[in-house]
Structure 1
């Protein structure tokens, strides 16, 4: 039932994820943060099986921080995406694979460009301008395809994202009531309100 969206624009990446934690048909909590800050310029939105998502997100967060401590500089978004994809692929070939879908957004401070990566539980990695996971993707991807502008300022990107969330809320039977939205750009990571 998880829903997550991401969109790139002129110098930024926006990630949004619902805040509902559910077990079967029961809502457990409504304030779950499903977007993990991995480094000062790197965010990861995760969805999937509740235990797997939290465990894998914390594993990724700790290892990326360990890399930064050992090497005195953070991983660039492309390198982080490759490492995470490899971790998912390795777990897929083990006895206990993670059932996790990811959206990885980051700002590369060396090239001054935003990057967005779509990953699924099979270890598939794609560099995309916009992405979605969950049931909300059935409604949002067509809107993102039509209204996404890679040169749009942040306000327009947030408007497109709000349009996607409104469409999912209106059309999806099990629509999620709240979303957490975070932006990563040259200034780092911050949370914004829609």
Structure 2
């Protein structure tokens, strides 16, 4: 309509039936508007058929059917990636922790392994944070040593600055905070920990279970790695809060005997340490004991 009007003004000698042209153009425009109001128009050129006059979101296009014999490549790669994550999450080391009346026992396997290869047969996977707190670690070899040394250095720095030691509870929450910060970084630590000690004020033993996802749980006994599959039932049966240090060592022997009996893997013995009100004590453990088959 606008174009016709401009054209007519520029040409005064336009024929007399120009009024009829304007009239029919106006009728066609009205007819088009009425049809648009009655029946919404659809855009059929695209895959998504959307209502031009409505504000509803377009529906998702349906995926094209695939033949049954074809396996999509992304699904196969995701399945392979999932299996890799599962196998990497399995801890091939042993960590055990037991609390008693006035002590906490921490035990860790001596073998440093990478896959099926034993790299070291006398690896100490424990670190003393202060006089009455001890941690044991497992996981990726580089992450474990670096993270344990970092926690040990910060604990000792706190003791020197404040002339007092952090309690096991305070250290456990500090470690949990560091793991949580690492988990949200580009390169998180793959470390599982057992933190045990005796509170210097209340003289009560404490044991904390931490994993690489920054989970923290205080427990009377705990395990990481293969030990959790075979030893937790033994600890459920024999542990009670008032056991003595000798009874705790006997329960630990039951756990290690079960591991030797059930697993084909040689962990090269156990490093056993106990935390009492007097400090951290190394406990001699018989690694050469022969266990009869079930």
> Does structure 1 retain, via aligned residues, the 8 Å contact 2:196–2:208?
yes
| Structure number with bigger Rg | 2
Q: CA deviation at 1:136?
A: 1.8
Which among 185, 189, 192 is matched to residue 280 of structure 2?
189
> Is structure 2 residue 203 aligned with structure 1 residue 108?
no
Alignment RMSD: 0.7
> Is structure 2 residue 244 aligned with structure 1 residue 153?
yes
Aligned to 2:234: 143
> Does structure 1 retain, via aligned residues, the 8 Å contact 2:122–2:268?
no
Question: 2: distance between equivalents of 1:175 and 1:115?
Answer: 30
Question: 2: distance between equivalents of 1:6 and 1:66?
Answer: 26
Which among 21, 35, 41 is matched to residue 126 of structure 2?
35
Q: Deviations over 1:68-113 (max 9, x none)?
A: 0110001001000000000000000000100000000011010110
Which among 144, 147, 154 is matched to residue 53 of structure 1?
144
Q: CA deviation at 1:175?
A: 3.8
Query: How does the TM-score come out when normalised to structure 2?
Result: 0.65
Question: 2: distance between equivalents of 1:180 and 1:8?
Answer: 16
Q: Deviations over 1:1-40 (max 9, x none)?
A: 1101000001000000001111222111101000111100
**Bigger share in helix:** 2
Aligned to 2:213: 122
Aligned to 1:163: 254
Query: How does the TM-score come out when normalised to structure 1?
Result: 0.98
**Bigger share in strand:** 1
Aligned to 1:16: 107
> Is structure 2 residue 4 aligned with structure 1 residue 4?
no
Secondary structure of 2:267's counterpart equals: coil
Aligned to 2:165: 74
RCO (CA 8 Å, sep 6+): is it higher in 1 or 2?
1
The number of residue pairs the alignment matches comes to: 194
Q: Which runs of 4+ in 1 moved over 6 A?
A: none
Change (3 A) 1:181 1:36: same
> Is structure 2 residue 182 aligned with structure 1 residue 91?
yes
> Does structure 2 retain, via aligned residues, the 8 Å contact 1:168–1:175?
no
Q: For structure 1, which runs of at least 5 residues remain unmatched after alignment?
A: none
